[in-house]
Every structure is written in structure tokens, then in C-alpha cells.
Amino acid sequence: MDVTSVDEVLMCADPGEWRPGDSWLAGGTVIFSYGTDITRGAPSRLLDITGAGWEHIRWVPEPVEGSDGRMTLEIAATCRIADLRALADEDAPGGIPRAELPGLDLIPPACDSFVASWKIWHMSTVGGNVATALPAGPMISLLTAWDATALILRPDGTSRRMRVADLIAGPTRARLGDGELIRSFRVPVRSLRDRPAFRRISLTERGRSAALVIGRRTSERSARLTVTASTFRPVVLDFSADAGTDTGVGAGVGAGSAVRADAGAWRTAIDAASGRWYDDIHGDPAWRRRMTHRLGDEILAELLPGIATGVDDAIGRITGDLRIERSAS
């Protein structure tokens, strides 16, 4: 679709060149399908970042906070969905045997969560998905579940880092100031070593995500759950079999203190953390809430069998249309 407000399109990935009325252009699958920039309003110039030459996927040997001190996975903002999908099929990504990185099993269902054909997969970018900040943004779900951080370049030549979970303020609202450009995402390899679980549900088969829950078993007795699509912004909750009877409400909401690994505690905690449930044509809030509860029960039962309590009727149950194909048992 024509973006009729646009006077000029430049190849440019330099935030120093940004001026009011500009929008970054990556794959263009949002900008050209809506005919405007839904995050900022009608642009007068588009700054096309796809010529920046950023390597799509890199394994960086420097230690960063949260990494296991050996390798960090770096995904460029301009990495296309198809390039990320290919990473899951590599035998030894970053020189690490694939079987040691079960977290990469999350990539195929996350990519499948786009209601999109291969044409979109070959155009749209990981950074564009995060910057658009739709509740059903599957790259937001994936990167948040991996505890990824974004590197953001600023017009004054400085840069900053922010957790992807914190970067999303609400629907179509990323915490990006004027001229700020997402350069890349860093994923600690430690997250990729954890056993994951994935559940998604939609009102229609292969429809837009209405609730999407990802779990990671962070130890033999604990798990981290990430909720997106049914909530206004990503919600991250930690669960432990060793937490007290406190449900963790308030303190536990994405703040690192654990909620008891119990179905009742999970429901109380996610209700408190979500505040209100997302409402659009892709799902009624009450239904999204019930589905989120159900998917979380299933994930706790799957990741902490015999340890999480109150989840007996969720054992072996698979709700939803997308699930993980496991690379290792």
C-alpha cells in the first residue's frame, strides 16, 4: 500500500540523522500494510535500515550479565523471521551441540505464531516486531521468555540496554524515544539451556494469538512463565516448589521473588500481574483469562511434574494449536 504522507525514503541506520516526522523502515510489513506508522503516526520520511549490513545472527564470546560467561546469542534487529527460523535447524549453533540448547525449540512455534505466509517471514524483522509492540507479537514473547535485552542506539551517539520485557509499555507502545533505533537483542545462552514449554491459543485455527504462555524450567524445582497476547504487556513470573504459601502477588510480579508452584497460586499471581486482560476482535478478555490459566497449568505440570501442586488434571493435556517439537528428551 502507498504511504501517501511520505516525501522521501533514505537508506539510513544512523540515529544522528533522524528528525521529527521520520520513521525507521525495516521489512515494511506493518508500515506498508497499514499505510502508516501505527506507533508514531503518518511519517514524512522513511529511514530504511535494511542496508545497515548488520550480521543477522552472531555468537558473541564476551560475557554479559546473565550469560554463562562463554557465549551470548546476538540477533540483529534486521534479522528476518525466516533467518531466525533457520537457526533452530542448525546442528551446532555457535559451536554448541544443538541438543544442549533445547531453548531453541521455541523458535519454530514462535515463528508459526505469526498469522503470516513465507512471504512475510522473508520480509518482516525481529526488531520491527518488537518495535511495533502488538500484544500478539511472537518475537516479543520469545525474547522475553529468553530474558533477552535490547541494545538501543540513540541520536546523541550513546546507547542503552533494556530488557525486552520492560521495553514494551502497551499495545503499539514501545519505550523508544524520538530517533531511538533498536540495533540488536542479546540472549544469554544459559536461557537456551533450560527446558522450555510452549502453549498458544487462538479463536480460529492459525488465527492471531489470543493467549501465549512460554515456560522455562530454571532448576529442578523452579520455572519461569512468560505471558503475552492475553495481557497488555509481557508478564514474567517465577515459580518455585520451595516458595512459601504467599502467592507472591506484588513482590513476585516480574521482580524475581518466586510464587509457590501451585495452580491456585499461579492463577492469583497472573490475575494480579495482568491487571486487566486484552480485548479485541481476537478474543474476549474473560476467555483470554481462562485460557491463560489453563495454559499455565499445563506448563507447570509439564515442566515440574510431581513438584507443582494442584495441576493433576493438566498432566498430559495440550490445549491450543501450537506446541513444541522437542529436539532432545
Ligand X SMILES: Cc1cc2nc3c(=O)[nH]c(=O)nc-3n(C[C@H](O)[C@H](O)[C@H](O)COP(=O)(O)OP(=O)(O)OC[C@H]3O[C@@H](n4cnc5c(N)ncnc54)[C@H](O)[C@@H]3O)c2cc1C
- Nearest distance, CB of residue 285 and ligand X, angstroms: 19
The residue written with cell numbers 487462538 in the block is 202
- Nearest distance, CB of residue 282 and ligand X, angstroms: 9
Position among 67, 72, 124, 149 found at the interface with ligand X (CB under 6 A): 124
Q: Which of residues 5-44 bind ligand X (CB under 6 A)?
A: 23-31, 33, 37, 39-40
Tell me the three state secondary structure of residue 30.
coil
The reply on whether position 283 binds ligand X by CB under 6 A is no
Pick from 179, 146, 171, 126: nearest CA to 16: 179
The reply on whether position 129 binds ligand X by CB under 6 A is yes
Pick from 73, 225, 90, 45: nearest CA to 149: 73
The reply on whether position 182 binds ligand X by CB under 6 A is yes
274 sits in the region (left: phi over 0; alpha: psi -120 to 50; else beta) called alpha
- Nearest distance, CB of residue 107 and ligand X, angstroms: 14
The reply on whether position 109 binds ligand X by CB under 6 A is no
Pick from 277, 302, 123, 282: nearest CA to 206: 282
- C-alpha triplet 35, 39, 44: angle, nearest 5°: 55
Contact present, 185 and 75 (Cβ < 8 Å): yes
Residue 9, strand partner residues: 46
The phi and psi torsions of 320 (rounded to 5 degrees) equal: 105, 180
Binding track over 191-230 against ligand X, x by CB under 6 A? -----------------x----------------------
- 46/304 with CB nearer ligand X: 46
- 138/252 with CB nearer ligand X: 138
The residue written with cell numbers 521520520 in the block is 22
Q: Which of residues 49-78 bind ligand X (CB under 6 A)?
A: 49, 77
- 23/72 with CB nearer ligand X: 23
- Nearest distance, CB of residue 16 and ligand X, angstroms: 15
- 25/269 with CB nearer ligand X: 25
- 109/137 with CB nearer ligand X: 137
Pick from 324, 309, 320, 233: nearest CA to 267: 309
- Nearest distance, CB of residue 204 and ligand X, angstroms: 12
The reply on whether position 149 binds ligand X by CB under 6 A is no
- Measured between alpha carbons, how far is 25 from 10 in angstroms, rounded to an integer? 9
- 114/266 with CB nearer ligand X: 114
Pick from 213, 241, 236, 258: nearest CA to 304: 241
Q: Please give the single-letter amino acid code of residue 88.
A: A
Tell me 81's DSSP state. H
Q: Note the residues at the interface with ligand X (CB under 6 A).
A: 23-31, 33, 37, 39-40, 49, 77, 114-116, 120, 123-125, 127-129, 131-132, 134, 136-138, 176, 181-182, 208
